[in-house]
């Protein structure tokens, strides 16, 4: 299947962010959602940490989700990673971003959890360039909260509030757009991913986690 990313690319180029409901078809979303639920039932999701490796520290005050890296072990993961591969190529062709790879994880926020306002990439310190988030819950009830709120980097004003409804894709420049996950009152399921540039130093390459 060939995906058309022209509206996404225009939005990203103009505003540094893009959000579209029903961007990913329900059939693929539902297969991903079932895949995530099966992983959760198998108790393989891990509590998310802040930072990597040595700096990795659990911090429930900042974020409360459980995650699992997508590595293409199942058919729906393969299909989604193929879609993101096409998006990477389209972004590189249109915007010359030099994106090198895509790392992504399932995330499950249990009731009462959130992710405080943050940037996905600190200037000059990370190689995450573009963030993508696909929401997986069918029929999200707005009374459950759990919106993703994005802020203007200059004014701090709210730019958009995104309901985590199945099929909605959000996309933004990782270094620029502060955002947060408001407290959720129901299990909230998504796939967060980052397109990265290659931060290789000499012969040592820097693979995705």
Ligand X SMILES: O=C(O)CCC(=O)C(=O)O
Nearest distance, CB of residue 101 and ligand X, angstroms: 17
Q: Identify the burial level of 161 via C-beta atoms within 10 angstroms of its C-beta, where 0-12 means exposed, 13-18 middle and 19 or more buried.
A: exposed
For 134, residues 6+ apart whose C-beta sits below 8 A from its C-beta are 23, 24, 29, 32, 80, 167, 168, 169, 190, 191
CA distance 3 to 112: 36
| Separation between Cα atoms, residue 57 and residue 61, nearest integer Å | 11
The nearest distance, CB 179 to ligand X, in angstroms, is 6
192 binds ligand X (CB under 6 A): yes
68 binds ligand X per the rule CB under 6 A: no
> CB of residue 117 vs Fe ion: minimum separation in angstroms?
9
Taking CB under 6 A as the criterion, which residues in 162-191 touch ligand X?
Answer: 179, 181, 190
Q: Which lies closer to ligand X via its Cβ, residue 120 or residue 175? A: 120
* Binding residues among 95-154 for Fe ion as defined by CB under 5 A: 120
By CB under 6 A, name the one of 24, 29, 36, 148 that touches ligand X: 148
Classify residue 127 as exposed, middle or buried by CB count within 10 Å of its CB (0-12, 13-18, 19+). middle
Q: Rule CB under 6 A: which residues touch ligand X? A: 107, 115, 120, 133, 148, 179, 181, 190, 192
Q: Rule CB under 5 A: which residues touch Fe ion? A: 120
């Amino acid at each position: 299947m060939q995906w058309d990313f022209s509206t996404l690319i225009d939005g990203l180029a103009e505003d540094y962010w893009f959000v579209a409901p029903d961007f990913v078809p329900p059939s693929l979303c539902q297969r991903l959602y079932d895949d995530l639920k099966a992983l959760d039932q198998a108790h393989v999701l891990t509590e998310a940490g802040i930072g990597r490796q040595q700096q990795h520290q659990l911090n429930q005050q900042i974020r409360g989700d459980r995650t699992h890296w997508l590595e293409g072990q199942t058919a729906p993961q393969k299909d989604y990673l193929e879609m993101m591969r096409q998006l990477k190529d389209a972004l590189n062709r249109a915007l010359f971003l030099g994106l090198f790879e895509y790392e992504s994880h399932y995330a499950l926020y249990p009731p009462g959890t959130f992710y405080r306002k943050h940037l996905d990439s600190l200037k000059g310190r990370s190689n995450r360039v573009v963030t993508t988030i696909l929401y997986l819950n069918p029929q999200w009830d707005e009374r459950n909260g759990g919106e993703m709120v994005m802020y203007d980097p200059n004014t701090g004003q709210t730019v958009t509030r995104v309901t985590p409804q199945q099929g909605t894709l959000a996309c933004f420049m990782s270094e620029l757009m502060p955002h947060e996950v408001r407290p959720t009152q129901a299990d909230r399921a998504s796939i967060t991913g980052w397109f990265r540039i290659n931060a290789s130093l000499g012969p040592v390459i820097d693979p995705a986690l």
